[in-house]
Structure 1
Amino acid sequence: MKATELLLDGFGRVREVVHEAVDGLTAEELTARPDAGANTVAWLVWHLTRIQDDHVAEVAGTEQVWISQGWTDRFALPFPAGDTGYGHDADDVAAVVVESARLLTDYHEAVHAHTVHYLGKLAAADLDRVVDERWTPPVTLGARLVSVLSDDLQHAGQAAFVRGVLRRR
Structure 2
Amino acid sequence: MRTPELLADAFGRVQEAVHEAVEGLLDEELAYRPDGDANSIAWLVWHLTRIQDDHITDAFGLDAQLWTTEGWADRFDLPFAPAATGFGFTSKQVAAVRAPGDLLLGYYDAVHARTLEQVSGLTNAELERIVDTSWNPPVTLGVRLISVIADDLQHAGQAAYVRGLAERRG
2:67 aligns with 66
- Between the aligned partners of 1:12 and 1:79, the Cα distance in structure 2 is 29
For the aligned residue pairs, the C-alpha RMSD in angstroms reads 0.8
- Residues 17-166 of structure 1 correspond to what in structure 2 (within 5 A)? 17-62=17-62, 63-98=64-99, 100-166=100-166
- Between the aligned partners of 1:123 and 1:85, the Cα distance in structure 2 is 32
Q: Is the 8 A contact 1:54 1:64 kept in 2?
A: yes
- Between the aligned partners of 2:2 and 2:153, the Cα distance in structure 1 is 21
- Between the aligned partners of 2:126 and 2:84, the Cα distance in structure 1 is 28
Q: TM-score, normalised by structure 2?
A: 0.97
Deviating 4+ runs (over 2 angstroms): none
- Between the aligned partners of 2:136 and 2:2, the Cα distance in structure 1 is 27
Tell me which amino acid in the other structure corresponds to 1:67. T
2:131 partner SS: strand
Q: Deviations over 1:91-130 (max 9, x none)?
A: 01001011x1000001000000000000013211100001
Residue 10 of structure 1: CA displacement? 0.8
Tell me which amino acid in the other structure corresponds to 1:81. P
1:84 partner SS: coil
Tell me which amino acid in the other structure corresponds to 1:147. S
Q: How many residues align?
A: 168
Q: Deviations over 1:5-44 (max 9, x none)?
A: 2211111001001100000110111111111111000000
Tell me which amino acid in the other structure corresponds to 1:57. T
Q: Is the 8 A contact 1:8 1:116 kept in 2?
A: yes
Q: Deviations over 1:109-156 (max 9, x none)?
A: 000000000001321110000111121111100000100110000000
Tell me which amino acid in the other structure corresponds to 2:32. A
- Between the aligned partners of 2:74 and 2:150, the Cα distance in structure 1 is 28
Q: Is the 8 A contact 1:4 1:119 kept in 2?
A: yes
1:131 partner SS: strand
Runs of 5+ in structure 1 lacking a partner? none
